[in-house]
Amino acid sequence: MRKRYWATLALALLHGPAFAQESNVVGQGFYGGPVLGVDGFAGDDTDEGQTGVVYGGVIGYDVTIGGAVLGVETEFTDSSVGESEDGFLIPGDSLRLGIGADLYLGARAGLRVGTSGLIYLKGGYTNLDLDADYRDPSGFEINATRDFDGYRLGAGAEFALARNLIARVEYRYSNYDGGDRNDPFADLEIERHQGVAGLLFRF
């Protein structure tokens, strides 16, 4: 009788951690949360790039097939990257160029590492807004926004902190061009290198 009692207790203790690990499995269902990181921006005709902060949010959906994870996600971000120049055309005027909204839509594929980890690759379409603001000494002001289509490639890793809480680190490269050959920006190529971290909630 005593042996059966201790055997039952041992099985219960051993089963507990296994159950807890299963509750932290990554790579299944809807998720979303904020992302924050470093944004490196450069045009093909610039000697030096600009660095700032990228921030926003991501939502997505994953399915698990064996040890693989396949998913789709969309992300919306903004950036602090920008540059100002005084005396651009005449004394007393100013011009500011800045990174605006960035919309990403893509897919990812990854491999589970244990029950709490995931490594993945991603890729998809991205659309970037560039904002320009010109002011002259008389108070005259012109605001303009130009959007650029491009692609994004990236790689990252995730780790389940709790059943519905995931930490993410990711590197991604984005490339944009001017598009149509008749467009005055057709020869302009823009590159971005970003390293971001996210705290995601799985639903």
Domain hosting 153: range is 26-202
Cα distance between residue 32 and residue 35, in whole Å: 10
Coil, helix or strand for 194? strand
Tokens encoding 128:
């970037």
Minimum mean pLDDT range among 4-13, 41-50, 114-123, 147-156: 4-13
Amino acid at 31: Y
Strand 29-43 versus strand 50-65 pairing type: antiparallel
Cα separation values, 144 from 61, 85, 91, Å: 35, 16, 21
pLDDT of residue 132: 80
How do residues 15-47 score in pLDDT, each as one tens digit?
444 434 444 556 679 999 999 999 998 865 545
Structural domain contains residue 187:
yes
Q: Is there a contact between 39 and 55 (Cβ–Cβ < 8 Å)?
A: no
The CATH number of whichever domain residue 194 belongs to comes to 2.40.160.20
Question: For residue 11, is it within any domain?
Answer: no
Q: Kindly state whether residue 14 falls inside one of the protein's structural domains.
A: no
More confident residue, 21 or 145: 145
pLDDT recorded at residue 186: 53
**Is 162 within a domain?**
yes
189 contacts: CB under 8 Å, gap ≥ 6: 43, 44, 175, 176, 177, 178
Q: Residue range 131-138: average pLDDT?
A: 82
Tell me the per-residue pLDDT of 48-107, one tens digit each, with 9 for 90 and over.
678 999 999 999 999 999 889 999 999 999 999 887 777 777 787 777 878 889 999 999
User: Would you say residue 158 lies in a domain?
Assistant: yes
Count structural domains, the chain: 1
